[in-house]
Structure 1
Amino acid sequence: MLASTALVCLMVPGLALFYGGMVAAKSVLNMIMMTFGSVALVGCIWVVYGYSASFGDSIGGAGILGDVTEYFGLSGVMKDDPKAVIPLSVFAAFQALFAALTAALICGAISDRIKFGAWMAFTGIWVTLVYLPVAHWVFAFDGENVVGGWIVNKLGAIDFAGGTAVHINSGAAALAVILVLGKRIGWQKGAKNGERPHNLPLVMLGAGLLWFGWFGFNGGSALTSSNAASVVVLNTFTATCSAMLGWLVVEKLRDGHPTSLGAASGAIAGLVAITPSCGAVSPLGALALGAIGGAVCALAVGLKYKFGYDDSLDVVGIHLVGGVTGTLLVGILGTADAPNGVDGLLYGGGLSLLGKQAVGAFAVLAYSFGMTWLIAKVLDKTMGLRVRPEVEQEGVDVHLHAESAYDLTHSPTTAPTPEPAAAG
């Protein structure tokens, strides 16, 4: 678990580079700052009341929210519990990164146009009102004298590592914020004239770091070094490979060329899709699930041009659509031979599991979208979310952070010596 926590921590710079490479050079530092800033803020919230709200005993036994006073300040996690499979402290650190990364995912949808202070305020409120309840629903298992969340315990839906709590949650939230914030200047419905990625090697490097860290994200969710964790890691790798190929095939057929940006995006789509299902499917099932997820997400990113919402870095197309796809496919491709031990439709399990997966997925989607829209709307009416037009056009890096990612001009320290006048 210590190793898995370290792997997940590496996903923070991975996400920053992945997002940073896809924006314009004038916005890359702001994107990196929003990623790291949200992680820092959520880490502090997690210690004070976040862990308790997610994993404390459910208030009133309803499975909606944990008791925020039970682990307030994480003061109780330092005691050694000989009955615990793993120390509570390392589990708290592991889950803190889940919360932080979920919030950070949202910023990719709203690049180039949101105030940094407004983003930080949004992050703190969103984690408190949206992520913490949803994490309780999905991740808090019932225990001895402890009541957990309603999705995992009462509904019985399967989400091994966060397809609903992380990806559907962040994707639905991203869509809501986009609709409140509006489009970037120059972005028009039906016209693919948004800012081009300024550094594709950074995108590929970020995707590689995310892929590496995802083994800790999914494998660590088994909470033990076991056969279950090993199957999860194998499925995570397998689905990512097939998803990358699925995305590239769609690109080739639709646009005529397979691209490096498509390869990186396809890998992330596969990682998203396999997150809820990595403990429920066979390796062949992971291949099929990844290919479907990669192809579906490649098609879904074009929806923003059809419907006119400016999802800058395709958070909706990859995380929302990929999360829903992977969550629902558990009900079709799940096999009792896998660690979760439940058969889906193709293995004779009927429609029961698929129905549970659908209820869990769309409950999180609806709650996250509705609550996030309300949060964004209130912040927009009070402190204002959007930067001034001239800031957006000239670049948020210089205006918001007084920095530039690249020194593209050379200013000599002394004036050049003038050439002598020609004779005569």
Structure 2
Amino acid sequence: MIVLNLNSFAQQKGGEENQKRTFEEARELAFNGKRQQSQEVLQLLLEENPYDVQARTLLAKTYSWDGKYDLARDEFKELIKYAPREFEVWEAAIKNEFYSNSPFKALEMADRALKHLPNNDKILFLKAKAEAELKNNKEALATLEPVLEKDPDNEEALALKASILRDLRKNDIIVRSYVDIYSKVFDPMQYYSVGWRRKTKLGSITAKVNMSHRFQTTGTQYEVDMYPKITKGMYGYLNFGVSNSSLYPDVRYGAELYKSLPLSLDASLGVRVLKYNTTTTVYTGSLGWYTGNDYLQFRAYLTPNDRGTSKSGFFTYRKYRKNAYNYFGVEIGMGFSPEIYQFQSQGNEETIINLKSQKLRLEYYFSSKNNKNRWGFKQVLLIKK
């Protein structure tokens, strides 16, 4: 009997060690982008032990990362039944709802989690985040209070609080300044913008004055932007601007419609009109995808003219940190976009608009702890061909 017990214990111990090694292999596959292989290994582990919390949690996370939010929900539902006090399970389950653009479900999940993990700072933060996304700003501030009382230097909580306070404000004054420095040919190009933004129930309205000094000339443009809310997951963009300077179009206006799609996708379609000596119409559209803290977008521009249609495309990748104001970005472009670059035309705007080029831009943006001040750096490589 003693020998059998020892053998049984040895087999059990060996089995546990094998399971640990197998789980680590699955984890490594998941974090190296081989999620399907990882899921297959994890499913085998769960066949042997359906109550393996680590394996099922990782499986649910990989489903969430792949945009399979319903499959992830099913796994989290099972986990909560037999591991209701596991913080990692609740945290991943709540984040799954954020990834699926379901802040109401995230809030419900956070409330359930707090019944099992009362006063957990990280769960309280996620609850406040869900409340903020639902525009329950006063409730979100109240939820954040105990988090900041315990940890006044909590950067995530401070950033969320600052964002909520900004959202509660009806009016904002916006001041921006940019300088492009060239190694050859051109003097530094200076750009300045001063604006006033008013938040309304129908969306935000921004009136601004843009000024620039380029090619030994100073010019001014007056512009209005509107972002009207249309329905849940859909909003618009309207723009109108005028100028009497050759650095800007005489008149510019545009409109675009933005729509949230399933699987954390978003898309838009719009038009821009630029009036110099002649009128140029630019059609544009974009397709973007959020995956965790990463955002990828492709935007295309089509510009009809007498010689056909000019085409350009821009691919953008951003890696966000604590919020939308802190990120590293890369943009690669082919073709020319008059939407972005407004050079001094001197009657040659048709040539400029149809200029072909390749572009690579690197950018890094960061903010102060209270998000009141923001800084950024850009490195642009523009190659004409």
Return the TM-score normalized by structure 1.
0.26
* Greater relative contact order (CA < 8 Å, ≥ 6 in sequence): 1
Structure with bigger helix share is 1
Higher gyration radius (CA): 2
Report which of the two has the higher share of strand. Answer: 2
